[in-house]
Amino acid sequence: MSPEDIDKVMSEGLGRRYAFIGPFETIHLNSEGLRSCCERYGDTIYRVQRTFSEPERMEGDVMKVIHQDMVSRVPLDQLTERRKWRDTRLAALDKLKRDMENK
């Protein structure tokens, strides 16, 4: 990836979410909780990490601590409500960006 590609990924993708929520809550909301994401995508994430540096698996005690923290902030039965909260803010941010580009 080029530096421009990386900037675009952050400014047009996850970076917008990070204006409101951090990476762990992003993971938590994008699946049925952080644990579910780790179980589904953990091997893929690990393989990608290995291409950059020595990776650490998101499992065991590390995953449990992060998952418990996320569930304490956003219980699993409130994921849908919190996703709506996030999506409303992302839509407003998209509108702001469009308005600013038109000036």
The domains of the chain are located at 3-101
Is pLDDT above 80 for 2?
no
Report pTM.
Answer: 0.67
User: Residue 47 CB: number of other CB atoms within 10 A?
Assistant: 10
pLDDT tens digit string along 5-56?
A: 888 888 888 888 888 899 999 999 999 999 999 999 999 999 998 898 777 8
Q: What is the mean pLDDT of residues 65-73?
A: 91
Answer for the pair 35, 20: CB distance below 8 angstroms, yes or no: no
Measured CA to CA, the distance from residue 24 to residue 70 in angstroms comes to 7
Measured CA to CA, the distance from residue 71 to residue 75 in angstroms comes to 4
Helix 34-50 × helix 60-73 angle, to 10°: 130
CATH number of the domain at 3-101, please?
1.10.1040
Dihedral pair phi/psi, residue 32, rounded to 5°: -90, 55
Q: What is the mean pLDDT of residues 63-75?
A: 92
